[in-house]
Structure 1
Amino acid sequence: MFNFMSRKGITFTLSAVLMMGTLVGCGAKTETNNAAATTAATTAASASAKPTDAPKTELSGTVTASGSSALLPLVKQAATEFMEKNPKVTINVTAGGSGTGIKNVADGTSDIGNSDVEFSAEYKDKGLKDHKVAIAPFALIVNKDVKVDNVTKQQAADIYTGKITNWKEVGGNDAKIVLVHRPDSSGSRTLVKQIILDGKEFTKDGITQENSGAMKTAVVGQSGSIGYVDTPYIDDTLKALKIDGVAFTEDNIKNGTYKLFGVEHMYTKGEPTGAVKAFIEYISNKDFQAKQVRELKFLPADLLGK
């Protein structure tokens, strides 16, 4: 009996030991698997996680922009907003005419040259980079006492070349036509010369005003006067003439029936960098184009490409 029980006990003991070994092995395997899974998950998370964005460099410095007085309201508005968002940047905006702006940026006097027209052949090798930022409708404007609402393109050309000198010749009162000009450096003058006068020269009769604001003031204050400005300067103190029966509107510019408009350019010498680049990008941004550009009576730069 004793021998039998001993053998039975030994058998039971060996079974228990083997069972414990199996359990220990399973436990070790489970721990190993858990550790491997944790390591794999950590590695995957690390791989999929985006690296921490490097802190953005705060913009600073001074940006100078000169040139077109037609574009001035838009650039000044953009500058005000941009400086509010970037307090370490100063943007100085002046007029002087498109020709002056192009010359200044080519000479390095200005960071940006604003212009109503493309630069001339003399600047083709100066490394200028064109940034189109808006379309500006222009109009022939007259003092409110002028009893004419429409002129043909030919009549407008004859007025500004000196062939027509009295309003009665185009259906108005018997009154002398007073011509208000812009200087030769003006992009507005160049546009009118190209589009209305077909390249002919202006008569030297009349008075000359240095910028669009002064042009408007002169026409408002001078009886029988005629001038030309882009539409942001037009209000109820003067009258805009139709040309060939067509008024300036967005639709008429798009369909090609109203031709007196300019593409507004901001030129830089080479590719812009830093605050200059950021400022031009701000004006070109779709939100600024859709809201502020239209509110200031310009049209988006991509209008004719749609």
Structure 2
Amino acid sequence: MRKKFVALFSFLCIFAIIAAGCGNSSSSSSSGSNKKSSSSSNATGSITAVGSTALQPLVQEAATEYMNNHSGTTINVQGGGSGTGLSKADEGAVDIGNSDVFAEEKDGIDASKLVDHKVAVVGFAPVANKNVGVKNLTKKQLIDIFTGKIKNWKEVGGADQKIVIINRAEGSGTRAVFEKTALDGATPVKSQEQDSSGTVQKIVSETPGAISYLAFSYLNDKVLALNVDNVKPTEANVQTNKWKIWAYEHMYTNGEAKGLTKAFLDYMLSDDVQTKLVPKLGYMSVADMKVEKDAKGNITKK
């Protein structure tokens, strides 16, 4: 009887060890942002993300890293502006629509069928050619410049030089955010319009007297980021809403994400992207914000 009891006890111990091993294997496979944790993370195939050029650098680099770590996957990332991203997602023509604005803010979009995935926060800044002779503008001066009331940099203490306004095209999320948060809803004068942030950056750097606006991720030493009301366009100021020209970066899906789309969106929110790529490329993690903003622009403290 004693031998039977020992044998039974040994069998139960072995069974418990095996079960524990299986449990550990399951939990370890779900930890770590690069490990496959669900059927969706094992998905293969091809998806397309279209829209915001302000968000494009982050999505593009994340897609490249994801494809390098997951064979059999193709993630196509294209620009075109937030309006294009939202309309294509609304139509079901693409898997992901990238946008700098809430779907509810865009006319003609059925926001009720789109699912919002906030993947980052981006600040925007007015930028000028480095030789305009001005580093700070009041908000009123900024509005007066973009609405055509101020036409020469000497009127705001700068060089005797004609102001050349460079706008983003209609449908651009960057333009929508800038008009709403920097210009208090004012419509800029008719001017040269560009479809991408990269082109704006290049033109402003090369055009005497030029002024425009760019996401922080496009700021470099080739253009001059202007202060507004003596507040600097910094991440710390965005996080507290002291710098008010900012927006969430959204990745919208038509209905709940599935398969490779879900796997990639999960990766966008993983530590590998949020703590490494996001700050590296000039964006901010949503988790670092001290305030929240809704589709109407209302600000609440976290």
- Which residue does 2:158 correspond to in 1? 172
Q: Would the aligned equivalents of 2:48 and 2:75 in 1 still touch at CA under 8 Å?
A: yes
2:23 aligned with 1:37:
no
- What is the CA–CA distance in structure 1 between the aligned matches of 2:137 and 2:57, rounded to whole Å? 28
2:263 aligned with 1:294:
no
- How far the C-alpha of 1:45 sits from its partner, in A, is 3.6
- What is the CA–CA distance in structure 2 between the aligned matches of 1:155 and 1:303, rounded to whole Å? 31
Among residues 219, 231, 237, which one is paired with 1:252 in the alignment? 237
2:148 aligned with 1:162:
yes
- What is the CA–CA distance in structure 2 between the aligned matches of 1:258 and 1:102, rounded to whole Å? 26
- What is the CA–CA distance in structure 1 between the aligned matches of 2:10 and 2:83, rounded to whole Å? 64
- How far the C-alpha of 1:60 sits from its partner, in A, is 0.6
2:183 aligned with 1:214:
no
Q: One-letter code of the match for 2:11?
A: T
Matches within 5 A, 1:222-301: 222-301=207-286
- Which residue does 1:23 correspond to in 2? none
Q: Would the aligned equivalents of 1:136 and 1:261 in 2 still touch at CA under 8 Å?
A: yes
- Which residue does 1:129 correspond to in 2? 115
TM-score using structure 1 length: 0.85
- What is the CA–CA distance in structure 2 between the aligned matches of 1:130 and 1:192, rounded to whole Å? 21
Number of residue pairs matched by the alignment: 274
- Which residue does 2:102 correspond to in 1? 118
Q: Which ranges in structure 2 are unaligned for 5 or more consecutive residues? A: 27-35, 291-301
- Cα deviation 1:24-72 (Å, max 9, x = unaligned): xxxxxxxx22112312331354256144869975321101000000001
Among residues 127, 130, 153, which one is paired with 2:139 in the alignment? 153
Percent identical pairs in the alignment equals: 41
Matches within 5 A, 1:66-145: 66-119=50-103, 120=106, 122-145=108-131
Q: 4+ residue runs of structure 1 moved beyond 4 angstroms?
A: 50-57
Q: Would the aligned equivalents of 1:180 and 1:225 in 2 still touch at CA under 8 Å?
A: yes
Q: Would the aligned equivalents of 1:105 and 1:113 in 2 still touch at CA under 8 Å?
A: yes
- Cα deviation 1:210-246 (Å, max 9, x = unaligned): 1100111111111100011101111111111011111
Matches within 5 A, 1:58-69: 58-69=42-53
- Cα deviation 1:57-116 (Å, max 9, x = unaligned): 532110100000000110011000000011200000000000100111111111001011
- What is the CA–CA distance in structure 1 between the aligned matches of 2:45 and 2:209, rounded to whole Å? 47
Q: One-letter code of the match for 2:285?
A: P
- Cα deviation 1:162-198 (Å, max 9, x = unaligned): 1111111111122110000011110000011101221
Q: How big is the alpha-carbon RMSD for the aligned residues of Structure 1 and Structure 2?
A: 1.9
- How far the C-alpha of 1:259 sits from its partner, in A, is 0.9
SS in structure 2 of the partner of residue 176 of structure 1:
coil
- What is the CA–CA distance in structure 2 between the aligned matches of 1:90 and 1:78, rounded to whole Å? 12
SS in structure 2 of the partner of residue 223 of structure 1:
coil
SS in structure 1 of the partner of residue 289 of structure 2:
helix
Q: Would the aligned equivalents of 1:179 and 1:226 in 2 still touch at CA under 8 Å?
A: yes
Select between 221-230 and 279-288 the one with higher mean Cα deviation: 279-288
Q: One-letter code of the match for 2:251?
A: M
Q: One-letter code of the match for 1:85?
A: N
User: Which entry has the higher C-alpha Rg, 1 or 2?
Assistant: 1
